[in-house]
Amino acid sequence: MKQNNWILIVDDDADLALLVADFLEMNGYQTKIEHNGAKAVECIINEQPMLVILDVMLPDMDGLSICRAVRHGHPGLSGCYNGPILMLTALNNDIDEVAGLETGADDYLAKPVRSRVLLARVRALLRRKPEPLVEEKFTKLPSKNDDVIAFDGLDIDKKYQRVQQHGEDVELTTAEFELLWLLASRAGEICDRDFISDYFGDLGYESSHRTIDLRISRIRRKLGDDPSHASRIKTIHGKGYLFVGD
């Protein structure tokens, strides 16, 4: 399956889509625009853009349905999309943000879109860049490498944005990886939600306490860490989260 070096903008507002495209191209990115939701699903899965900017409110197929379809597969199309998805919406509330993240979006931005914030989000999401020449799994990682954290079978590689657990790849979104890296790099310390929000703010995100909790839940599930008796990422009630090392 091909992977292309351009950003797909999915929005039925032709003027806004063109403004976003022009702004991104002024900052060195190639773009394509799609106004139709069903066609967007086909384009995302078949063409594999490096990032998708997806409006929630579309007339034919809403953004949440598009996100769900490209993440989990769509009838008549082979494969799915694992690249970053940034959702845009005119509805600025926590419930909509959580809904977007639950369908597989990496980040969420409310309209009206501020160009500099959008650019910061795009850059943060694109920090997760696969290394096409490295095919082998990394089972032994040098402990002196500042870009690598290794704990009892869990290997986190910052440079390549890769995670393995007991030799098996763990697929995380960009935001999930950044959160796991933050907690793991401070193993044994309690990180409260305000601290985590500030960290994501520096990356161009706006993260509420609810979205942090949701991302923690998704990371735990992918790591097989039972939330009822979490052994890797513990909830310290009234304080925050604690990553447990070896």
Yes or no: say if 167 and 155 are a contact pair by the CB < 8 Å rule. no
Domain count, the chain: 2
Distances (CA, A) of 1 to 45, 51, 79, 86, 118: 9, 15, 8, 22, 28
Q: Which domain covers residue 27, as residue numbers?
A: 7-125
Do 81 and 157 have their domain in common? no
pLDDT one digit per residue (tens) for the chain, 246 residues: 456 799 999 999 999 999 999 999 999 999 999 999 989 999 999 999 999 999 988 888 888 899 989 988 888 888 889 889 998 877 655 555 666 666 778 888 878 888 888 998 898 788 755 443 333 333 333 344 568 899 888 999 987 778 999 988 888 877 888 899 999 999 999 999 999 988 887 776 667 888 888 889 989 988 998 877 888 999 999 899 999 986
Strand pairing category for 51-55 and 154-157: unpaired
Question: What CATH number is associated with residue 118?
Answer: 3.40.50.2300
Yes or no: say if 165 and 153 are a contact pair by the CB < 8 Å rule. yes
- Cα separation of 177 and 187, whole Å? 15
Do 89 and 156 have their domain in common? no
- Claim: this prediction has a pTM higher than 0.85: no
Do 186 and 230 have their domain in common? yes
Domain end point (choices 110, 125, 140): 125
Question: What CATH number is associated with residue 219?
Answer: 1.10.10.10
